[in-house]
């Protein structure tokens, strides 16, 4: 409740209480004054009735007397009666008088001196003499000095008027009897005036007998009342005066009642009056009580009203507050929903500390943090190192305004995303905070980058491809964009092709081609490698392959056309076609070439071998030679090794291509072609084997071969060697006998051992036409002995010493038939002795067959005389 309401309430209550008080008090006052007047009236009436009764009684008494003859005659008895009456009522009457019809006093008691006096001059006497009806005199002061009133009653003899009988009434006695007793309250009293305005009675001294108007001079309200009284009226009045006699009593209000007192022929007026103060003093206690009650009512009213108003206000405020609370809750709920369910990541951080206050689900989901982790972060933790300072400064500055900017954020896994952050101030749970909405624009950025890159790529491709590219309007072929290649190929400058159509440029040699092309692009959406011809500025005709795609630039359909200049290719194709026609001839030619080359190779190989032999001889001769010769030896081996590699590379090509062609991978061959190629193939392979062997030998001789001992199963390695000669064995229908223990293991160089075994086996097969081959293996102490026995041509005594030398088989009649490099046994011996630390020997009888025996240690330890230098190739 506010002050104004309270003051208004006080005013209303004060007013109401005052009105109430006044109403009650006035009512009470009115009642009191009415009661006072009633009381005064009763008094006035009692007094009036008393005085009237007094006069009535005396009139009656005098009437009775007047009927008596003694009185009429005023004889002795009559006089005695008068005396008796006087004596009996001396307290009331001052005299009793008999007056004759002329107005002369016949007899009077007790003042006999007045007898004979004529009083007809007096007003009331004249009246009765004339009217013959009882009269009362005015109050008069007797010669004896007291105020008196005379009552005359007529006396008749028969019907003759014989004067009057009268009494003089002591007015003071009368007044004492009927008026002095009137006392009302403190100040109430009565006063009486006669019809002519003479003050007959008043408790105030010095006024009786005087004219009332003299007494009340200067009090108009009193004069009004007196005038009304003198007309014989009855009534009430109030008046004020300030003086009783000569005494100043202050301004006094008086309440008065007045009424006439009818006596015989005349009337008096009696006034009973009281001071207002009397009534008021009676009302004081009532007024106080009333004031108290009204005061109590006022206070209670005030208290209840205040409490009521307060209660009302409280209820109203409570209602308002509840409404506000509901609204707040709704708005909070809405806000929370907006925040938590927002698909965009959102966060709230405290300004100043930059501490994270809240994040939504989208944030935790997108960034990969748990809510707890996210809330332990500071804003700057989200930013990569190089942006931390900038965001810190920005966050310190941002206040009051909305912000949006592009930044990078770190996710929980450390990956960086491009984001747009929009933020504004917020009061969050009492914190001065800021809310930010994050938009991840990584994809957009990437898409933009990709688009830009793709545009760049297109632009680059457009200008960098070796093909001419034209973008033209589909409807009429208007050139919109061409690349430099186009300009170069057609010979036009960029200005010349501006706003030209391909038709205007006369680009198409055959305009039907253009129509075909455009129609195809329209129906298929694209055209691939359509052959056509173009005319350059200089009129030259170019062959072109046209590829096209319909694209839309802006809104107009366009053609992206790529023209490949194939003029050169066409020429080449034409040549190729020519070659193709002569293919067979060519193949034959080349095969012959190849054979010639092979022969040349063989010859050079021979020469090489001779050289090698020379060198070997030289080496043997110079075993004790100095370092310079060793160096020469090394150089020689290296030369051979690298030479062999160079020889082998083209051979590999020859073998590879012929092999592939032979397999029919390049198309079917006829039998003769196949046979020819097979010969080339075999020859090339033979040559390769030779070279390989030469390399091996030269390496061994140079001491530059690596040794790789490993565990080898004897049985397995022999089986492997047999497998390689199995086809020839089967071709010659030779038998094979194998006698090898299954559980013998060797630690040796597998490849080299295999090489030796294959050499021995293939040697055996080569020189055997019927019968078979027998392989026997035996353990011999720390060695293993492997024998290969054939039933072939055998070896003559003469041949024996040269057997293990290079190219020893070249001169035999079997050379062509048997094939072989002629280096086999030479190499085998070298391998067996120099590498495998073993030996090889032979037993043979000409025409009976031969047995080659290879003996190698079971456990091969690398020995110091073999230097490891890595591959020489």
Nearer to other proteins, 232 or 703 (CB): 703
Q: Should residue 827 be labelled a site residue for other proteins when binding is judged by CB under 8 A?
A: no
Out of 263, 705, 722, 777, the residue judged to bind other proteins by CB under 8 A: 705
The token pair at 781 is 């102490």
Out of 624, 649, 670, 865, the residue judged to bind other proteins by CB under 8 A: 649
Question: What is the C-alpha to C-alpha distance for residues 283 and 27, in angstroms, rounded to an integer?
Answer: 11
Nearer to other proteins, 165 or 651 (CB): 651
Out of 115, 708, 730, 861, the residue judged to bind other proteins by CB under 8 A: 708
Q: Please report how close the Cβ of residue 643 comes to other proteins at its closest, in angstroms.
A: 13
Please choose, from the candidates 569, 562, 565, 568, the residue with its C-alpha nearest in 3D space to the C-alpha of residue 546: 562
Sorted by sequence, the CB contacts under 8 Å of residue 358 that are 6+ apart come out as 339, 347, 348, 375, 428
> Using CA of residue 32, residue 36, residue 39, residue 45, what is the dihedral sign?
negative
Q: Please report how close the Cβ of residue 865 comes to other proteins at its closest, in angstroms.
A: 17
Nearer to other proteins, 28 or 866 (CB): 866
Q: Which stretch binds other proteins (CB under 8 A): 474-482, 617-625, 627-635, 649-657?
A: 649-657
In angstroms, what CA-CA distances link 247 with 41, 241, 271, 664? 27, 11, 21, 175
State the number of CA atoms in the 13 A half-sphere of 390 facing the CB.
Answer: 10
Instruction: Count CB neighbours of 106 within 10 A.
Output: 19
The token pair at 447 is 């898409």
Q: Please report how close the Cβ of residue 675 comes to other proteins at its closest, in angstroms.
A: 19
State which H helix or E strand residue 808 sits in.
Answer: none
Q: Should residue 805 be labelled a site residue for other proteins when binding is judged by CB under 8 A?
A: no
Q: Which stretch binds other proteins (CB under 8 A): 22-30, 446-454, 747-755, 815-823?
A: 747-755
Q: Which stretch binds other proteins (CB under 8 A): 67-75, 211-219, 658-666, 847-855?
A: 658-666
Q: Please report how close the Cβ of residue 858 comes to other proteins at its closest, in angstroms.
A: 18
Q: Should residue 752 be labelled a site residue for other proteins when binding is judged by CB under 8 A?
A: yes
Residue listed under structure tokens 């008086």 = 254
State which H helix or E strand residue 838 sits in.
Answer: none
Out of 650, 727, 741, 847, the residue judged to bind other proteins by CB under 8 A: 650
Q: Should residue 580 be labelled a site residue for other proteins when binding is judged by CB under 8 A?
A: no
Question: What is the C-alpha to C-alpha distance for residues 62 and 393, in angstroms, rounded to an integer?
Answer: 137
Q: Should residue 660 be labelled a site residue for other proteins when binding is judged by CB under 8 A?
A: yes
664 φψ region: left (φ > 0), alpha (ψ -120 to 50), beta (else): left
Q: Please report how close the Cβ of residue 651 comes to other proteins at its closest, in angstroms.
A: 7
Out of 104, 277, 657, 686, the residue judged to bind other proteins by CB under 8 A: 657
Nearer to other proteins, 130 or 873 (CB): 873
Nearer to other proteins, 378 or 648 (CB): 648
For 601-750, strand residue ranges (E) read 709-713, 735-739, 745-749
Nearer to other proteins, 162 or 750 (CB): 750
Q: Please report how close the Cβ of residue 708 comes to other proteins at its closest, in angstroms.
A: 4
Cβ burial, residue 744 (10 Å; 0-12/13-18/19+): middle
Contact 289, 297 (CB under 8 A): no
Q: Should residue 857 be labelled a site residue for other proteins when binding is judged by CB under 8 A?
A: no
Instruction: Count CB neighbours of 840 within 10 A.
Output: 23
Out of 473, 630, 679, 751, the residue judged to bind other proteins by CB under 8 A: 751
Sorted by sequence, the CB contacts under 8 Å of residue 631 that are 6+ apart come out as none
Q: Should residue 480 be labelled a site residue for other proteins when binding is judged by CB under 8 A?
A: no
Question: What is the C-alpha to C-alpha distance for residues 429 and 161, in angstroms, rounded to an integer?
Answer: 128
Nearer to other proteins, 129 or 705 (CB): 705
Q: Please report how close the Cβ of residue 633 comes to other proteins at its closest, in angstroms.
A: 20
Applying the rule CB under 8 A, the residues between 629 and 648 that interact with other proteins are 645, 648
Number of residues that bind other proteins (CB under 8 A): 29
Nearer to other proteins, 368 or 819 (CB): 819
Q: Please report how close the Cβ of residue 699 comes to other proteins at its closest, in angstroms.
A: 8
Sorted by sequence, the CB contacts under 8 Å of residue 67 that are 6+ apart come out as none
Question: What is the C-alpha to C-alpha distance for residues 561 and 558, in angstroms, rounded to an integer?
Answer: 9
Binding mask 680-699 for other proteins (x = CB under 8 A): -----x--x---x--x----
Nearer to other proteins, 177 or 648 (CB): 648
Q: Should residue 328 be labelled a site residue for other proteins when binding is judged by CB under 8 A?
A: no
The token pair at 73 is 């005659």
Q: Please report how close the Cβ of residue 873 comes to other proteins at its closest, in angstroms.
A: 6
Nearer to other proteins, 195 or 685 (CB): 685
* Helix boundaries (H) for 565-626: 567-581, 583-621
Contact 134, 265 (CB under 8 A): yes
Out of 79, 98, 750, 766, the residue judged to bind other proteins by CB under 8 A: 750
Q: Should residue 608 be labelled a site residue for other proteins when binding is judged by CB under 8 A?
A: no
For 392-518, strand residue ranges (E) read 403-410, 416-428, 431-440, 468-473, 479-482
Contact 475, 552 (CB under 8 A): no
Q: Should residue 663 be labelled a site residue for other proteins when binding is judged by CB under 8 A?
A: yes
The token pair at 173 is 């006695």
Q: Should residue 659 be labelled a site residue for other proteins when binding is judged by CB under 8 A?
A: yes
Out of 115, 666, 735, 867, the residue judged to bind other proteins by CB under 8 A: 666
Q: Which residues bind other proteins (CB under 8 A)?
A: 645, 648-653, 655-657, 659-660, 663, 665-666, 685, 688, 692, 695, 705-708, 749-752, 871, 873
């Amino acid at each position: 409740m506010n002050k104004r309401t309270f003051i208004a309430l006080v005013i209303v209550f004060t007013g109401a209480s005052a009105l109430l008080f006044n109403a009650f008090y006035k009512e009470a006052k009115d009642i009191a004054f009415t009661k006072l007047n009633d009381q005064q009236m009763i008094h006035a009436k009692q007094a009036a009735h008393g005085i009237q009764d007094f006069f009535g009684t005396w009139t009656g008494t005098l009437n009775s007397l007047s009927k008596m003859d003694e009185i009429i005659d005023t004889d002795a008895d009559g006089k005695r009666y008068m005396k008796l009456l006087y004596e009996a009522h001396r307290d009331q009457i001052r005299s009793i008088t008999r007056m004759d019809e002329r107005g002369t006093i016949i007899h009077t008691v007790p003042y006999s001196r007045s007898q004979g006096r004529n009083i007809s001059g007096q007003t009331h006497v004249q009246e009765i003499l004339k009217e013959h009806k009882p009269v009362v005199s005015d109050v008069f002061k007797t010669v004896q000095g007291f105020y008196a009133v005379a009552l005359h009653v007529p006396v008749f003899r028969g019907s003759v008027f014989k004067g009057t009988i009268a009494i003089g009434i002591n007015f003071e006695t009368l007044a004492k009897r009927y008026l002095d007793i009137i006392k009302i309250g403190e100040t109430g009293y009565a006063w009486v005036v006669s019809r002519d305005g003479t003050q007959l009675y008043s408790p105030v001294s010095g006024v009786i007998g005087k004219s009332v108007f003299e007494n009340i001079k200067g009090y108009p309200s009193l004069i009004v009342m007196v005038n009304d009284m003198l007309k014989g009226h009855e009534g009430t009045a109030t008046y004020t005066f300030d003086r009783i006699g000569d005494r100043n009593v202050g301004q006094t209000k008086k309440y008065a009642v007045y009424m006439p007192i009818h006596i015989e022929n005349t009337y008096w007026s009696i006034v009973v009056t009281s001071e207002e103060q009397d009534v008021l003093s009676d009302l004081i206690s009532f007024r106080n009580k009333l004031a108290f009650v009204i005061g109590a009512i006022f206070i209670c009213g005030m208290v209840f009203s205040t409490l009521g108003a307060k209660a009302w206000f409280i209820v109203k405020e409570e209602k308002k507050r509840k409404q506000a609370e509901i609204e707040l809750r709704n708005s909070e709920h809405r806000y929370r929903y907006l925040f938590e369910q927002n698909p965009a990541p959102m966060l709230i951080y405290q300004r100043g500390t930059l501490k994270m206050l809240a994040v939504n689900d989208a944030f935790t989901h997108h960034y990969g943090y748990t809510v707890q982790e996210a809330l332990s972060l500071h804003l700057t933790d989200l930013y990569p190192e190089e942006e931390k300072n900038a965001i810190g400064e920005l966050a310190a500055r941002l206040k009051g305004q909305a912000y949006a900017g592009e930044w990078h954020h770190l996710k929980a896994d450390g990956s960086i995303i491009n984001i747009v952050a929009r933020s504004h101030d917020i009061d969050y749970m009492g914190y001065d905070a800021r809310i930010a909405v994050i938009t991840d624009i990584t994809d957009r950025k990437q898409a933009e980058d990709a688009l830009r890159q793709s545009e760049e790529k297109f632009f680059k491709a457009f200008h960098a491809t070796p093909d001419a590219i034209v973008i033209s309007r589909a409807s009429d072929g208007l050139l919109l964009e061409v690349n430099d290649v186009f300009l170069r190929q057609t010979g036009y400058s960029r200005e010349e092709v501006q706003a030209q159509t391909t038709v205007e440029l006369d680009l198409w040699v055959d305009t039907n081609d253009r129509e075909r092309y455009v129609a195809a692009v329209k129906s298929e959406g694209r055209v691939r490698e359509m052959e056509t011809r173009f005319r350059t500025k200089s009129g030259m005709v170019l062959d072109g392959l046209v590829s096209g795609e319909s694209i839309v630039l802006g809104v107009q359909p366009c053609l992206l056309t790529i023209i490949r200049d194939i003029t050169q290719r066409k020429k080449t194709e034409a040549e190729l076609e020519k070659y193709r026609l002569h293919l067979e001839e060519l193949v034959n030619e080349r095969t012959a070439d190849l054979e010639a080359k092979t022969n040349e190779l063989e010859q050079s190989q021979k020469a090489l071998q001779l050289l090698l032999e020379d060198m070997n001889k030289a080496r043997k001769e110079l075993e004790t030679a100095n370092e310079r010769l060793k160096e020469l030896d090394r150089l020689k081996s290296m030369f051979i090794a690298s030479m062999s590699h160079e020889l082998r590379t083209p051979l590999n090509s020859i073998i590879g291509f012929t092999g592939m062609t032979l397999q029919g991978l390049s198309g079917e061959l006829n039998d003769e072609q196949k046979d020819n190629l097979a010969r080339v193939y075999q020859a090339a392979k033979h040559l390769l084997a030779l070279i390989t062997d030469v390399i091996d030998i030269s390496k061994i001789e140079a001491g530059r071969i690596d040794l790789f001992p490993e565990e080898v199963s004897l049985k397995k390695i022999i089986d492997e060697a047999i497998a390689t000669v199995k086809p020839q064995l089967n071709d010659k229908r030779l038998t094979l006998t194998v006698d090898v223990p299954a559980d013998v293991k060797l630690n040796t160089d597998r490849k080299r051992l295999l090489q030796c075994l294959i050499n021995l086996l293939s040697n055996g097969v080569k020189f055997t036409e019927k019968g078979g081959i027998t392989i026997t293996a035996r353990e011999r102490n720390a060695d293993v002995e492997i024998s290969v026995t054939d039933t072939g041509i055998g070896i003559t005594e003469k041949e024996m010493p040269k057997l293990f030398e290079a190219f020893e088989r070249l001169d035999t009649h079997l050379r062509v038939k048997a094939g072989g490099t002629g280096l086999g046994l030479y190499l085998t011996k070298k391998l067996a002795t120099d590498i495998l630390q073993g030996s090889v020997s032979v037993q043979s009888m000409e025409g009976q067959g031969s047995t080659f025996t290879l003996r190698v240690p079971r456990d091969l330890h690398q020995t110091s005389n073999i230097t490891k230098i890595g591959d020489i190739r």
